[in-house]
Amino acid sequence: MKDNKKLLIFTILFLPALALSSVAQPLPQRPELIRDTDVAEGKEDTDVAKPKEYNPLQGEKSYKIGNFYYKKKNYIAAIDRYLEALEYNPKLTDAHKALAKAYEKLARDYEKKGEIDKAIDTYEEFISNNPESSKSSEFRTKLAKLKQKQS
């Protein structure tokens, strides 16, 4: 009989609480996403690249990453990193030399693949961006040969 009383008390006191907890409660509302209204409304131009501040450590880091890509024969990524290194430190002579090598390798690879137009564009891009470079005259010679080959 005592067990029945305990069961009855348990049923009266705790069963309704258990039933209520198992009822599906509404999920809390998710907050709305916060958006950048200037960008969303077209007031801010996101394509404008901000000029990099002089930072020789970051320039050296970008240069070393460029060397990594260069060794992996990913010349496009290497060029991007060398250009970034020069943005951080324009006087980084190692980056200038490496950049010329990367452009040369990239143009040579395009030529080997038969993509003469891309090779020409690569040489022209280097010459226009680095007219004072010692490699520019060599690249002009190669450019003239490629243009003859293309005709």
Token digits of residue 59: 């320039």
Radius of gyration of the chain (CA): 33
What CA–CA distance (Å, rounded) separates 119 from 11?
Answer: 85
| Helix (DSSP H) and strand (DSSP E) numbers for the chain | 7, 0
pLDDT truncated to tens, each residue of the chain (151 aa)? 666 777 667 667 665 665 555 555 566 676 665 566 666 566 665 555 677 888 989 999 999 999 999 999 999 999 999 999 988 988 888 888 899 999 999 999 898 888 999 999 999 999 998 888 888 899 999 999 999 988 7
Residue 91 lies in a domain: yes
- DSSP string for 38-61: HHHTT-S-TTPPPPPPP-HHHHHH
What CA–CA distance (Å, rounded) separates 116 from 122?
Answer: 10
Residue 75 lies in a domain: yes
CB 79 within 8 A of CB 99: yes
CATH number for position 130: 1.25.40.10
SS3 134: coil
Residue 134 lies in a domain: yes
Range of the domain at 120: 56-150
Structure confidence by residue, pLDDT tens digits, 113-148: 889 999 999 999 999 988 888 888 999 999 999 999
Number of folded domains that form the chain: 1
